[in-house]
Structure formats: structure tokens, C-alpha cells
Amino acid sequence: MNYKIIGEPMPVVICDLNAGESMITESGSMSWMTPNMKMKTSSNGGIGKMLGRAFAGENMFQNIYTAEGGNGQIAFASSFPGSIRAIQIAPGKELIVQKSGFLASETGVQLSLHFKKKLGAGFFGGEGFIMQRLSGEGLAFIEIDGSAVEYDLAAGEKMVVDTGYLAAMDATCTMDITTVPGIKNMMFGGEGIFNTVVTGPGHIVLQSMPISNVVAGLNLGKSSN
């Protein structure tokens, strides 16, 4: 499978598949394809995996597209202005991504729940208690809200991230929350009460325009009119 990502700030990944190759995506993500790409809707793992995907912000069913009778092409577009990143998943190189961050992947990639170990990190760390874990083996495409900024954290190295700006991290990283110091800072600083703290070792991907912030800004604009 070959691919190219074009068109930011509304990017699309165009995948060229050899005969017999397949791609997995959540329902509704396909943008265009050649006529020989055949779709099959599947639970892809049974009721447990279906419920897990639902809790992680994805659809319960997944669509599998296969090139039949020759080479095929299929495209998946981002649902929000931002970036698409291609990530190679392999045993020992699992990835944790924000809810609804998964766009598409090769069939060897598995999507499952990732529970943060501490309830505080889940409820106040930015994107809810549940994230997504990409495991198995193959190429996966994830959506980034806005522009992507990437860092490699050494063992024990930390990055303090404001709510919603963590898009993805290696499974070797850990995350927790910390309160903003000082009552005045909490009340009047405009940065909220909590920050997410990500600790290495591992690679992290931050995003410049979390969709949650955009929605909050739109709602604030409506209420002021």
C-alpha cells in the first residue's frame, strides 16, 4: 500500500492498494474510491470490541474496503481543519490517541479502549476518561486538530499540556494531572484549573486547535449575541 497526504488545512489521505489489500475505517470516513474497492461492514472483533469502540468515541461497526480484481484507490478526508499523520504500529510500539482521532488503517491494526490509570487524569486531563489504543501491526492514520507539533521525551522528562492539546502519545508515556498553582491563577488566569502532565519516555503529538476549544468558543459567541 502506498499513500499520499495532501490539502491542509482540510487534508485527505489517498491510499493506493494492490489487489487483495484492505483498509479499515469507521463508518462514514470514506471520501472517494475506485469502483473495484468493495466494502464490508464488520463488528471486527465481536460485541466486546464493538462496545469498546463506542466508549472510545468511534462507531460500533467498522468498514473494511478491499481492492478486488486489480489495484484500487481509496481516500479518507479529515473531519475538521487540521492534519493527518501516518503512524507505523507494531508490537511494542502501540499508540494512545484522543477520542475520535482514528481515521483509517491497514487491517493488522487493532483499535481498543485505553483507560487512564487515575480517575483524576481521566476526568480533568482534557479529553475525558477514555482514550483509544492502537495496537497490532500496520500503518494507521490519525486526525490532528489544527497543526501538529511533535516532541520526543526522554525517560522522566515531562511536558505540561493545557486541556485538549494532547493528540497522541506512545504507550510508553504516562499522563496525570496537576492543579494550576494559586487560587488567583485558577480563578482569573483564564487557563482553567487543571493541566495534563505527560511523562516520557516516548513520542508525543500536540495539536494547536482542539475541536473542544472551538466548540466552546462558538457556544460562547452564541450566548453573547
Cell 490539502, located at residue: 7
Q: According to DSSP H, which parts of 16-101 are helical? A: 47-55
Q: And the C-alpha cell for 221?
A: 459567541
* Whether residue 184 has pLDDT greater than 70: no
> What pLDDT band is residue 187 in, cutting at 50, 70 and 90?
very low
In terms of residue numbers, what domain contains 206? 2-215
| Predicted pLDDT of residue 117 | 52
Residue-wise pLDDT for 54-80, tens only, equals 554 556 678 999 999 999 999 999 988
| Predicted pLDDT of residue 52 | 55
| Predicted pLDDT of residue 126 | 44
> What pLDDT band is residue 123 in, cutting at 50, 70 and 90?
very low
| Predicted pLDDT of residue 114 | 77
* Whether residue 160 has pLDDT greater than 90: yes
Q: Is residue 224 part of a domain?
A: no
Q: Is residue 209 part of a domain?
A: yes
Number of domains in the chain: 1
Bigger pLDDT: 127 vs 199: 199
Whichever domain contains 31, its CATH number is 3.60.160.10
Bigger pLDDT: 181 vs 201: 201
Q: Is residue 156 part of a domain?
A: yes
Average pLDDT over residues 80-92: 94
Quote the distance between the C-alpha of residue 32 and its chain's center.
21
Q: Is residue 222 part of a domain?
A: no
* Whether residue 154 has pLDDT greater than 90: yes
Q: Is residue 199 part of a domain?
A: yes
Average pLDDT over residues 25-36: 90
The average confidence (pLDDT) of the chain is: 81
| Predicted pLDDT of residue 183 | 53
Q: Is residue 122 part of a domain?
A: yes
Please, how many CA atoms are within 13 Å of residue 188, restricted to the half-sphere of its CB? 3
> What pLDDT band is residue 210 in, cutting at 50, 70 and 90?
confident
CB of 194 closer than 8 Å to CB of 161: no
| Predicted pLDDT of residue 162 | 84
Residue-wise pLDDT for 127-141, tens only, equals 445 788 999 999 999
Bigger pLDDT: 174 vs 58: 174
Give the span between the Cα atoms of 80 and 147, in whole angstroms.
11
> What pLDDT band is residue 177 in, cutting at 50, 70 and 90?
confident
Q: Is residue 111 part of a domain?
A: yes
* Whether residue 217 has pLDDT greater than 70: no
CB of 58 closer than 8 Å to CB of 110: no
Q: Is residue 221 part of a domain?
A: no
